[in-house]
Amino acid sequence: MPARVARLRIAGFKSFADSTSVEILPGLTGIIGPNGCGKSNIVDALRWAMGEGNARSLRGGEMDDIIFAGTTTRPSRNMAEVTVTLEDALGIIPPPLHEQSELEITRKIERGAGSGYRINGREMRARDVQTLFADMASGARSCAMVGQGRVAAIVNAKPEERRQILEEAAGIAGLSARRHEAELKLRATEGNLQRAEDMRGQVEIQLQGLQRQARQAARYRNISGLIRASEAEFLAIQHLRVERAREAARLALDEAKIKAAEAAEANRVAEQAHGQGHDILPALRAAEAEARTALERQRVASEQLAAEEARAKAAIGAATQRLEQALRDLGRAEGMMRDAAEAEQRLGAEDATLAAAEAEAEAKLAEAVAAMTRAAEVARDAEATAQAATERNAALTATAQAMTGRLSQAEQRARRVGEQVARLSIERDRLAQDLIAPDKLAEAKQSAETAEAARKEAAARLETAERGRVTAQAALTKAREQANTAEAAATKLGAEIRALNEVLSVGGTQGGPQLVDELTVPAGLEAALGAAFGEELSASAGREAARYWRELPPIDGSAVMPAGCQPLGEVVQGPPALARALAHILLAPADAAPGLQADLKPGQIIVSAEGGVWRWDGYTVRAGTPTAATVRLTQRNRLRRLREDGATADQATSEAKAKQEAAQTADRATVAEEQAARNARREADQAAERLRNTAAALATRAAAAEQRLAGVVSQLEAAQPEKTEADAALAGIREEAAALPDLSAMRAEVETARSALQLARREEGDSRTRHDGLTRDRATRAQRRQALAKEREGWAERAEAAKTHSADLDQRRQDAATDHAALAAEPERLATARAAQTSELAEAGTVHQQAASRLKTAEDEARAAEKASRAAETAQALTRENLVRAESAVEQANHAWGTVAERILERLGAEPAFPEITAEPSQENEDKARRRFERLTKERDEMGPVNLRAELESEEITRQIELIDREKGDLVAAIAKLRGSVGHLNREGRERLSTAFAEIDKNFQAFYARMFGGGRAHLALVGSDDPLEAGLEIYAQPLGKKLSTLSLLSGGEQALTALSLIFAVFRSNPAPLAVLDEVDAPLDDANVERLCTLLNEVVKETGTRFMVVTHHHHTMARMDRLYGVTMMERGVSRLLSVDLNRAVAMTEQPPPRMAAE
């Protein structure tokens, strides 16, 4: 038995503040309630628990918005939890929960902390929960969750988007997710393999570079020593030069200080003179200001007198204008009184004329009213006659038109059905020819199996080649390490040999080579021979040298020597010139030599192997004091041994390189073999995949062709009876159309009645026009008489006002004449006062000019003193600037000295040992030393970076190459495994999708016919031959219409067709729970009844439990139980439940009988 969703528990989710449970029992469960009370929040809670991760899909801005936000009386919650309970869930989930029959899937979210899943208390991943519901044909976005816009989404979706319906019905929604995950892993693994191969090539190139770097180290060290010596010489010259520059700067600073003091004294004297000149200026400025103030007061008084004179003249002009204006206004008032008298006479005459015309118009108006009444009665009779004729004609015309429409529709239907039968017959014949033969399918399958076997064989060859390459690479790595080791040893020996050759080549005398170079000294006796001879061995054997050895015969008696001693001439081979000396130098152990020193003959010396000397005359030298001869002899012996070791190392290097070249040849061969095997494997994979796809596509095409042929045959069988019915209907309608009467007589009657009606209406209009004209004339006369009365009243009022205004104007004329006489003598008085003021103004100007002249002279003298002060100040500033420059020069010299000292401290230490400088420390000598230092530094820099750790790094890179090879092997194995998994998932998905498509198409055709009460429809895969890539198209043919796609149907037909597809999916792959959120909103009552009937049938056939959110009363009546969502408390949703079956049973019980009274 499949798993069932039995219960939904909500706590703190959106408006459900308290814990609420919804029992999801078999049958139909309805969710009802007013808008905004929280019905859709139940659906959102179910979708959220099934894995919905998009907050906008849950009608929120962010995921924390689904937590109860609080109300005015309740605080907000910090947590929301939704639990879905599954029953009969044995084995639908992987271990360790696979043996539990009841699962509680809980999703919990905390504010600001995200959400998590638990199944029976155990934490789970969101992907696992989503895959679980997807395998059950359910989930947050599955076809089982039919939201308010789900039907419209199916209608408006592209065919490729509708394929998701098939995937969920086939139960491969989770399979698709796993296939996508496997493909992502495959691409990532192939990318990792390519990166590993690229990295190995880069590392090999890096290893070759490290080997070259090791050979540069010796040369680098030699040049570094020369650089240190040249740098010391350069810094010594530079140090001496900056010392001298610092001393010169100090002398210049002392001289600048003396000049600065002198300039300061001169500036002080000039400032004193400048101050005295400025002290007398304030008194002179005050006197000038007082004279200027007196002058300004006289000017202001003069301007005031001029202004008063102008105002007097203006007042006289204004009085003259007022007098003239009063005379003009008095004349206008008298003219207005005359106009009022004339208007009263004219308006009285017009009013008498209008009264006479009013009496004559009453008789004409009564006559016009009688004529208008008679014309209206005639028009009403004519209109009734025309209306009756028009109605009879319209009824007969409508009958004829309806018959014509029925005839046209019948002809179109007969023609359409005939064309459909002919098209289906042609389509049936074509599809029968397009059927793919079984032998062709078998041949394609056999080719795919053969290609698969070839692919496995190529994979085996590739694995063998990879193992061979790993072996060859290991051998090459070992040979390369041996060659590098041998070459490094030979390089090291060669560098030491060259260094010793260079050292030994220095020190030759002018007369020829030193005798020390002609000695053959056994190992260990270098110190003894050097201690015995010292600097004497640096002499030459040639007589032309300044110091040389002469060849003399042996001394008689020299063979007498102390016991335990051995002459050096017996163990050291040298030139004949040293024979006498070697015979007198005796070799003895260091501990016995002091005791034998007293027995020595004149000229004899005892030496020890450690370098001790005991001479015959008592002179003694302790062991451990090296000499130049000792060092040179040791270096020569070391050089001889190094040459022997170098020959051996060169031979070993040649042998190791030969082995390395052989290993490289073998490695290249294995690489080529592996690449060839890899190419063969790739070609075999491509061929196998291509043939497998070809076989699958051929099988799909064959199944599709058979399915299309069956569909066409069924459509043709259904179209034949429809064609017979359409032909019969067409014949009957033609007989009815032939029986209709002719319409010509009726049309003539209508035209006659309409002509009489027009004539009567024209006469009625003329009489009404005459009546309206007389009425308007009477009203116009009445209005004019009223206007005349108002005008006569207005003229009387204006005449009275003009009389009053005339008296006022006469008074104003008298007042203006009096003002004009009073102002006539004022201008003469003001002219006399202005002449006296002019004389006083001239005297004040003379006083001010004298004061200004004295002030200007004093200011000129002060400016001259100020200029001299500024010149002294400028001279002082110049000396100060020179002082600052001298101080800056001292500071720069000190800084330069500090920089050189810091560099010397950095490069040579706190107490540097400078070489002796014989030349003058000039810029030229410093440049020479610097160029020598830079040349050596450039020579070292041109070598490039020298890696002294090249050997260690090469070993590390070798280990890295081995690690990359091991990882490549793991990646190749993982790629093969992932490709096999993807291929298996693709094959399984195609098989299950093809099976589901056939079943859903069959169910869809049945549900469509039941939903529409007839008609035909089918599904088709379009866009690709591969079912996993093809889109789902819906073709429908309602009764009386032609076959078309879903987008060409009407809105109601689209909704019902989409619901038919949803029910077909339910039947083919029943989900444990289906949710219908107001899907009945766009349907009328009849279609809602059909929808509810189909719901009951689907429940009986599939066992799916439905949760229906609705507002429709028919849908509520068909539910098995109802949950009412209320919001008695604002912002908080609550649930009330009613079991309708129990309620119906209770109502059908007979009521209890009451006892008789």
Each residue's pLDDT tens digit, 980-1009: 777 777 777 777 778 888 888 888 888 888
Quick: pLDDT tens for 404-434: 767 777 777 777 778 777 877 887 777 777 6
829 vs 81 pLDDT, higher one: 81
Query: Side by side, which strands form the sheet with 1132-1139?
Result: 145-146, 1073-1077, 1105-1109, 28-32, 1121-1129, 1132-1139
| pLDDT band of 1153, cuts 50, 70, 90 | very low
747 CB contacts (<8 Å, ≥6 apart)?
Answer: 393
Flag whether 783 is in a domain: yes
User: Is 569 labeled as ligand-binding?
Assistant: no
At CA 988, angle to CA 460 and CA 1027, rounded to 5?
A: 115
Structure tokens at 129: 């929960």
Please give the single-letter amino acid code of residue 893.
A
pLDDT score for 914: 52
For 852-880, give the DSSP string.
Answer: HHHHHHHHHHHHHHHHHHHHHHHHHHHHH
Whether 531 contacts 607, CB under 8 Å: yes
Share of the chain above pLDDT 90, in %: 3
Structure tokens at 334: 């008298």
pLDDT score for 906: 66
User: Is 36 labeled as ligand-binding?
Assistant: yes
Torsion of CA 244, 248, 249, 252, to 10 degrees: 180
Cα–Cα distance for residue pair 813/1133, rounded to 1 Å = 95
Count CB neighbours of 111 within 10 A: 14
Count CB neighbours of 80 within 10 A: 25
Say whether pLDDT at 131 is over 70: yes
Flag whether 247 is in a domain: no
Residue 96, preceding peptide bond in cis (omega within 30° of 0): yes
Flag whether 871 is in a domain: no
Whether 629 contacts 529, CB under 8 Å: yes
Domain that holds residue 956: 187-209+949-989
Mean pLDDT over the full length of the chain: 77
Whether 281 contacts 865, CB under 8 Å: no
Say whether pLDDT at 1038 is over 80: yes
Flag whether the pTM goes above 0.75.
no
Domain count, the chain: 2
Flag whether 816 is in a domain: yes
Flag whether 642 is in a domain: no
**3-class SS of residue 607:** strand
At CA 881, angle to CA 880 and CA 883, rounded to 5?
A: 65
343, 352, 782 from 346: Cα distances, Å: 5, 11, 18
Cα–Cα distance for residue pair 806/137, rounded to 1 Å = 111
For 120-152, give the DSSP string.
Answer: TTEEE-HHHHHHHHHHTT-STTSTTEE-TTHHH
User: Is 34 labeled as ligand-binding?
Assistant: yes
Run of H or E residues at 1035: strand 1031-1037
pLDDT score for 1154: 38
pLDDT score for 1039: 77
Distance of CA 260 to the CA centre of its chain: 68
Torsion of CA 998, 999, 1002, 1004, to 10 degrees: -110
Say whether pLDDT at 1142 is over 50: yes
Cα–Cα distance for residue pair 894/903, rounded to 1 Å = 14
* Averaged pLDDT, 461-466: 79
pLDDT score for 571: 75
**3-class SS of residue 514:** strand
| pLDDT band of 105, cuts 50, 70, 90 | very high
pLDDT score for 398: 65
pLDDT score for 460: 82
User: Is 40 labeled as ligand-binding?
Assistant: yes
Say whether pLDDT at 402 is over 70: no
Flag whether 800 is in a domain: yes
Find tokens 């004022």 and name the residue. 826
Run of H or E residues at 82: strand 79-87
| pLDDT band of 82, cuts 50, 70, 90 | very high
Flag whether 328 is in a domain: yes
| pLDDT band of 947, cuts 50, 70, 90 | confident
* Averaged pLDDT, 768-772: 78
User: Is 41 labeled as ligand-binding?
Assistant: yes
Quick: pLDDT tens for 156-165: 888 887 777 7
User: Is 120 labeled as ligand-binding?
Assistant: no
Cα–Cα distance for residue pair 1154/1157, rounded to 1 Å = 9
Quick: pLDDT tens for 569-598: 777 777 777 777 777 788 888 777 787 777
| pLDDT band of 499, cuts 50, 70, 90 | low
Flag whether 521 is in a domain: no
* Averaged pLDDT, 70-88: 89
Run of H or E residues at 1076: strand 1073-1077
Cα–Cα distance for residue pair 1119/24, rounded to 1 Å = 13
Query: Side by side, which strands form the sheet with 1031-1037?
Result: 1016-1022, 1031-1037, 1044-1045
User: Is 37 labeled as ligand-binding?
Assistant: yes
Which one of 934, 963, 989 terminates a domain? 989
| pLDDT band of 1091, cuts 50, 70, 90 | confident
pLDDT score for 1156: 34
Share of the chain above pLDDT 70, in %: 85
* Averaged pLDDT, 767-775: 78
555 CB contacts (<8 Å, ≥6 apart)?
Answer: 580, 583, 584, 603
Count CB neighbours of 640 within 10 A: 13
